[in-house]
Amino acid sequence: MSVFDENRAELERHEFMMGLERGRLAVALDLLTDSLIMVGQHGVYCASSRNPNQPALDLQAVLSGMEGAKALIQSVMEELRVKREAGRQEGADGGAK
């Protein structure tokens, strides 16, 4: 089953509220957040042998990569929002002339 089938309701809701691109990115962000939580919980049981207060090194790398991907998605969503609002502002200014 594809990600589109598994998350159909959530995709439809977010796409309706935010537009196609931002809606899909929002769902991707939710999926990443859920995965980060699960990996973080797993890290409690798989502690580093060097530093028992930290997750194992492989989990640290996974968490770091996922957090980076999440930050990139958030930055794209913000850029899309800014562009959309700028387009609306231009449309409103153009109609006033």
**Which of the residue ranges 9-13, 39-43, 50-54, 55-59 has the most confident prediction, judged by mean pLDDT?**
9-13
CB–CB of 6/28 below 8 Å?
Answer: no
Q: What is the pTM of this model?
A: 0.77
Token readout for 72 is: 């990139």
CB–CB of 77/25 below 8 Å?
Answer: yes
Q: Per-domain residue ranges for the chain?
A: 3-96
CB–CB of 74/29 below 8 Å?
Answer: yes
Identify the pLDDT of residue 4. 92
pLDDT: is 16 or 88 the higher one? 16
CB–CB of 27/10 below 8 Å?
Answer: yes
Nearest by Cα to 43 from 62, 64, 67, 59: 59
Residue found under tokens 């962000």: 29
